[in-house]
Amino acid sequence: MEIGIVGLGRMGAGIARRLMRDGHTSVVYDLSAEAVAALVKDGARGAASIAQLAAQLSPPRVIWIMLPAGDITDRAVTEAGAALSAGDVIIDGGNTFYKDDVRRAKALAAKGVRYVDIGTSGGIFGLQRGFCMMVGGEKDAVAHIDPILKSLAPGIGSVPRTERAADADARAEQGYIHAGPAGAGHFVKMIHNGIEYGLMQAYAEGFDILARKNSDVLPEDERYDLNLADIAEVWRRGSVVSSWLLDLSAAALAKDGNLDAFTGAVSDSGEGRWTLDAAMEEATPAPVLAAALFTRYRSRVDHTFGERLLSAMRHSFGGHVEVKR
């Protein structure tokens, strides 16, 4: 199948290469001429603009946009929409806010251009492992791009198969689903990323407790100098808390047991905030996900004014003094 890909960052380039590896034709565009040249070297056809990319495709044309959420993706979708015709398909495979998908789908429908949103998980490992995809859009548009999805998905692999109903959608165990209409794919991926925040925070807090077990504030006979790399590794083997996130943690600890290469100022890319917005709209409790997001905010400051005020109040009512580090 022929596909145009706009945005050749780590995931966009991985998507193009995985598709070409499976026999698809990729026409690629990026603001970086070097990124385009690298894909052309691997067998893609290059373009100097989105309009030029669209002109190289045969109808019904498919353009996959893989750019950061926000204005840059909005502009690319608008530009692609102007270059396409009725029956063509625009895919947004980034981490777009799902309400933007609903708006774009309505705008493009006036021209007959079909819009598909794909929440794409797999990161820099997707080229080798495959991409887990949550898809939103009209049924016919999703069916049209199924060969692309099948090539990008990880497949059943070595994961034990779940006993499912006979009429269950077979695509799910291949690594992709049609979640629903426009926006549904990115909504499911948004919640996926919110859960990821909570899982990562649970690991972080657990290992923090392990790391501090040798603290001089503890009785000497209750202090343990624990090997965190070994603990992470043994938990990978048959433990109920084993996961890919733990695999990555074990690899990081094996390389640098103190994680000295990192400051601990943890960024967030928006999906955690949007997840909590959705929880508020639904009045759905999500205390773990909220705490995980707020902890990321907290990681970016040393001490806040509010914390100084807390110390001042404790000193005022009880004569409590701050512990000196």
Query: pLDDT tens digit string along 158-197?
Result: 888 999 999 999 999 999 999 999 999 999 999 999 999 9
SS3 135: strand
SS3 213: helix
Measure the CA–CA gap between 137 and 279, rounded to whole angstroms.
23
| Token duo for residue 301 | 């400051």
Contacts of the segment 283-286: beta carbons below 8 A, 24+ positions apart: 286/194
Residue-wise pLDDT tens digits, 212-240: 999 999 999 999 999 999 999 999 999 99
SS3 283: coil
216 secondary structure, DSSP code: T
End-to-end CA distance of the chain: 62
**pLDDT the model gives residue 292:** 95
Which residues sit opposite 120 in a β-bridge? 133
Does the annotation mark 106 as catalytic? no
Does the annotation mark 41 as catalytic? no
Cα angle 138, 143, 146 (rounded to 5 degrees) comes to 130
- The residue from 138, 173, 196, 233 that is catalytic is 196
Secondary-structure percent of the chain, ordered helix, strand, coil, rounded to 5: 50, 10, 35
- The residue from 150, 189, 220, 324 that is catalytic is 189
Residue type present at position 135 = V
| Token duo for residue 160 | 């034990």
| Token duo for residue 263 | 């400051």
- Measuring CA to CA, which residue among 244, 213, 243, 242 is closest to residue 226? 213
Residue-wise pLDDT tens digits, 38-86: 999 999 999 999 999 999 999 999 999 999 999 999 999 999 999 999 9
SS3 105: helix
- Measuring CA to CA, which residue among 40, 92, 89, 99 is closest to residue 67? 92
Residue-wise pLDDT tens digits, 12-41: 999 999 999 999 999 999 999 999 999 999
Q: Is the pLDDT of residue 1 over 70?
A: yes
**pLDDT the model gives residue 16:** 98
- Tell me the angle at which helices 98-109 and 184-211 cross, rounded to the nearest 10 degrees: 160
| Token duo for residue 196 | 């990821």
